[in-house]
Structure 1
Amino acid sequence: MAEKGTPPPDILTPIRWPLRLTLWGMSAERITRAFWPLWSLLLAALGLLMLGVQDLVAVEWVWVAGAGFAAALLWALWRGVRMLRFPTREEALARLDATMRGNPIQAALDDQAIGAADLGSQAVWQAHQARMRARLAEAKPVEPDLRVARADPFALRYVALLAFVAALVFGSFLRVSSVTAMGPSGVDLVSGPAWEGWMEPPGYTRLPSVYLNDITAPGIDVPEGAQITLRMYGEVGSLSVEEDVSDRAPVPEAQQETAQDFAVVRSGRLAIDGPGGRAWEISMKADTAPTVAREGEIESSYEGDAQIPFAASDDYGVVAGRARITLALEEADRRYLLATEPEPRDPIEVPLPMPIAGDRAEFTETLVENFSEHPWANLPVRLELSVEDEAGQRGVSDMEVITLPGRRFFDPMAAAVIEQRRALLWTRENVPEIARILRAISHEPDDVFRSAVPYLRLRTILRRLEAAGPAMDDAAQEELARAMWDLALILEEGDLASALERLQRAQERLTEAMKNGASEQEIAELMQELREATDDYLRQLSRQAQQQGEQNPEMAQSQDMMEMSQNDLQRMMDRIQELMEQGRMAEAQEALEQLQQMMENMQVTQGQQGQSPGEQAMEGLGETLREQQGLSDDAFRDLQEQFNPGQQGPQGQQGQQGQPQGQSGQGQGRDGEEGRDGQGQQQGQGQGTEQGQQGQGGQQSLGDSLADRQQALRGELNRQRQNLPGAGTEPGEAARDALRRAEEAMDGAEEALREDDLAGAIDQQSQAMEALREGMRNLGEAMAQQQQQNQGQQGQAQGGNPGQQRDPLGRNSGANGQIGTDENMVQDEDVYRRARELLDEIRRRSGEGERPEAELEYLERLLERF
């Protein structure tokens, strides 16, 4: 065995600081493992004191808890002292040497045991010593291992740390001193007992809280329902509370409690008796119930939309309201088919509209509803309005008898059908009489029907009525009522074909009369018939264009053309009548032929209306953007599921039950895309729920499903980019470049999804959506430039300049064809309801955290503005 000699003093010089830091780290390890219960107890106790737990319980419990804490603290200190053993320098050398290759510290301290007299052996030893000492310069201090998980398997130290962090956020160091006021010693021997008090008004009043210690006035104005909080410190019983503003029973023991909370329900006196006490006269401000009343005249539109104005007020604001409508049976004209007792029906209840923005303490709004199809339409009803405030108080208006507005039918046959429909809904006992009346009024169909279609419909309704009889069920009754309503609309409004046939017949009769030299009175009657037929045809044409415009907004520009053509037609008919009155029949005949040609051209123009390639491309890109948004939403939900498995609540349950998650509120805004995606989520998440060991595989298959969808969407975008119009123009090329970047981002998102990198996929998808939006903006500019170049030719073809045309939202375009205007986007008659729907949709979307940050910021700016 070799003997170790005395090493030169400079051997360990290179490892002086690494050795010292390693020794300190080992000391920190042993201190941590010995005293972790001690500092855990200290942090937990300090956190509870900062949160003011001692003020919420009786003082006896505080002393018991303090004694228990002191015992635990002594045990933790004794345990730490017993376990603590500081490391030696040799132990630090051994740990540092073990971290280096070849144990150079031990080798540097060794002496040559054999071959000391051999020169070759000495040379080898010296070379080995030099190599080992060179390695000493590479020594690094060993990091201490401060983990105590083996000694603390329940992670109690983290519980204590959490309590302390919560106290730092929600508590205060000043509340720790309140524990010293619970005994007869310390500072309280000098300062005596103390108290604190707060008055917190109800949240809906939006009034600030009041610190009672700062109130020196003898009286306080307090809103009804305010919460009084009192805390007494010091010897129990030295301070007591006397009050008669709450519903508490005056129990002497309760008056001396250190923590008291009660609500103000009446005016009265509040006093704190004892050293430093104070008293106030509480003047309660009662929360009055809201009020509502109908004001102004009730109006209705041609379509039957009822407009019922009302005014509501409350001292703090109205939160909701309802309108209740019941039949005023004693006020109705009970003749004919209304003489029998009606079938029972539930009252009509509709919510009252509330102001979108601003103060709801006092406002005026208008309830807009269409009751035309209800059996009580155009009958006397009782109207009752009610509103409610946040305190739950309810205000009701006076009961008022009004005629329930509904659509009126001016065509005699349509009005008769509607009258029989009301009789059918009144009671099914009227069915035999209804059938007889319908047969009687349709006995001569050629005199009352313009075409065979409504007559055949009426015959079908008659057969079903007679077959069902008074014993028909509810479904049959509702189905027959719907059929009769549709028939009345056809009879009242007609259709485009019947209106055109009537117009052509009037033109032929007028032409024949002019050729045969009819009298002035006959020609005047025929001219009036032509005017009426023309008005009917234009009205039907406008209605059809409006319906097509609702389905396809790009068709809305045809309305302007028809309105202008109608003015031209009226001037031409005035000219024809003037020529006929002057006896200039040849010129009148020529003008009538021009009128016929204009009507035919109007018909052709209406039938040839369609979408341009640019509009089709814009619509396709919009659909691609919506699908990409839906795909990004699904990826975000899957990312949440990875970090919080099982935390999706009802959506996760729906997925397990076989219902796609896309059927929830969010999925409905993407044209059913969520519904298709939900099946993939069901397969991935359902397997992960039922078989925990297969959860990883389920997520992988789900990622592949999202990647396949992303690949298909990228292919569709590539096809759209190849067929994009506007080639050769600067905006068109910019649009193609933006779509190319969107395609590259989709490709990156697909790769990230296949690698199960959902976070990276979401970032790439966000870039793709931004590039898509930029491409759509550039395409819109290219379309506007093309429209500006062709505005002369298009203006002649469509009967108006570009400034009179309309964009897909129904707004007027600018004079140069550019999209953008300050005109109101809401073109409906019910402007307020549409505004409310838009604001509710913005609020719903702003609450969806999975949407891109830029979109959420835009939605927040909209909410701040409105």
Structure 2
Amino acid sequence: MTGQNHTAGKPKDAVDDALTRRIRRKRALTRFNLFVESLAPRLLWPAAVVALYVALSWLGVFLLLPFAVRIALLFFLVAGFVVSLWPLRHLRIPSAHAAERRLEAHNALAHQAISVRLDRPARQTPEAMALWQAHQRRMAERLLEIDSGLPKPDLAAVDPYALRAVPVLLLFVAWFYAGPDSASRLADAFAPPAGEGETQVALRFDAWISPPGYTRKAPVYLQADGEEAITGIPEGSVLTVRLSGEGADQPITFTPDSSEEAQAPAEAEQGALANSASFSLSSGGRLEAAGRNWEITVDPDEAPMIAFKGTPKAAANGALELEYTVTDDYGVTRAHAEIAPAGDVDPHAEPVYPLPEFPLNMPGRSSEDHSAFTSRNLTEHPLSGKPVTITLIAEDAAGHVGKSPALEMVLPERTFRNLLAGSVAEQRQIFALDTRRMPEALQYSAAITLRPEETIPDLTQFLLIKSAQTRMALAHDDDSYRDTADYMWDIATGIEDGALSDAERRLREAQDALSEALENGASDAEIARLMQELREAMQQFMSEMAQRMQPSEQMPGDQQTLRQRDLDNLLNQLENLARSGNRDAAQQLLSELQRMMNNLQPPSSTAQQQGGQQNSEMRQQIDKLGELIQEQQRLMNETFDLDQQLQDRERWGDPEPSPGEQAEDGEKAPRDMTAEELREALKQLQEQQQGLAEQLSEMQQKLSELGMPPAEGFDQAGEAMEGAAGALGEGEGSAAVEGQGNALEALRQGAQQMMNSMMAQGQGQQGQGPGGQTGWGNQAGRDPLGRNQGADGLDFGDNVDVPDEITVQRAREILDAIRERLNEQAPLPSEPPYLERLLEPQSQN
């Protein structure tokens, strides 16, 4: 074979066909790529020299150098630029032959596949021509997907150490430094020397206001044109002004509105070509600098506001529970309750203990009314049971303090059912409030030991009291008085609760230690250690509580397990929040845990003697009520799903039959039903709804027999159920859902009314209350964990929201949008299955 000229002697059909035009186009692009690959390395160093010059200009280097040094540097840069252009003399336009070889190499084409189209065999016999044409066809098939690729200049060949990154990085930093003066600074290298022009260095003005960090506001920058009003600046912000260049030595002054004299700057630095000053803004004023003026308005930092939200309460164990609201313009950093004695107070009294400390928790970020809750056991303090004043105090980051009006009340105290324990606690309180009354306390203590065989049958308790008397007689300083008071409190609680008091103290100490660690930002390892101590303390406390209960008071195993599981889940959630960095939420959860444990009390003697068949039957009815509410919720969800599918059928038509996608029982899923089948399914739910109405009627009759007054909510629920059953019989899903929602809400109201009646009758305070929590003393209608029995202790379905009309409409709009997207041609194969899963009804837990 002999190669022929690429343009002469070619048949016209071979020149004009599509393949030949494609080859010519790709060959032209490849020649351009080769030209770029040859040009880019030769332009690298000229571009680097230009970037270096621009960077030095933007950084103001030329203005800072003496004129002679500046000219020398400029000459060096110009010479370097000229020298860097010298390799361009070898620049050539690539040939078509080189482009073809590049195309063949890039597309892995062997045997010079592109030249085959234009070559001819040396011997043009019929056999040779047939063979040659077959070879051309095979090569043409491989040329159908020919690609020119992209330029790939080899910059590493001329810059093996990647020094090209230095001017690029320098240029990037200089652009931010120059700011709006970037264009004017490019000519600084050609500025005349000092004395030959009006100015040598252009005056540069930079000013900004930095708000305090606790405001979480961004800095405010002042524009160079001036004469503008700056408003909304937080109090305590710092105003910084910097002048550089010719004329930078002019004064920078800030005059507050409340004064005619300029404020002295907090920091100042002045030189020939640089001048800076910083001012702390406690009020608005006028800034004057560089011949310009700015009016600055400062918003004062208001003092925080804190107030009681309701009356302080006492938990079952005597812990003080405070609920309050805290607000501030930028947030409160700390808060506490100040507790001081009230009434007739002897100013010369010498108390053993200082006033009790009561730090307050901060409201959560999600709290809409900025309310918070804190529970703390102060029954060990001698002021418990005495009139006190409580003042809430809050402080923000600026140091401003807000106080609530003082509230006077009797500080909750621990109730001692054992008279001997109560007597020891009373003696301790006498001298703990005023050490001068120690002789009086000794007289009381001696009185109860006159006839120990009658008053103190336990020998151990007698010996403990005698040792306490010895300590009381020997006490002479603050430490000995405090040790004696602590010792007597241990005796009193030990007589009352035995080992339970030690477990309770350990639990309280573990809670306080964890709370302090969360507040101080302790490490994850410390949090994990304290959480383990809290778990062990809680386990010991619960074990002691269980041992104190009589066998007849033990709760059923399933309830005991459920309660323990709730506590374990709460502790796990607390640890996860603390270790994930959400310390505020962990602190709130710990406060709730303290509230629960404060309401967990041992059974009283009255609670041990009461209970019986009536409470057992009442519990059964309450369990049935909870099941009825859950069943009504399930039925409403099913009705809502069917009605939603029916609405879709009326709008979009019946779905295409899809065999194989049926429910496990062989019936069709709602999304595969036709409109008629959906109406029939709605009608079939009528019997279930009527059955629930009958169960409600039977339950009302049983409650009446047990002496419970009728609840309005149950009557309303029965009417709503009958209406929903009628709507289901007519296939009206929307009306049925509305009636079922009304019935569900009425059931909850009726349950709450029933629980309130039970609390009013005192049944919640008996040995086995209707909530099934046995022998836990008077807890104001709460279960052993401090939860309201009508809402949290029993599951009345309050955690499920009934969708209102707006929510239903919004859900329909979302489903319609998903279906429209599903009907379109999806760009990704994974999108249709995902959209179909979104349309599937979710199972209800």
The TM-score range, normalised by the shorter chain, is 0.3 to 0.5
Q: Give me the TM-score of the superposition, normalised by structure 1.
A: 0.45
More helix by share: 1
Structure with bigger RCO (C-alpha 8 Å, 6+ apart)? 2
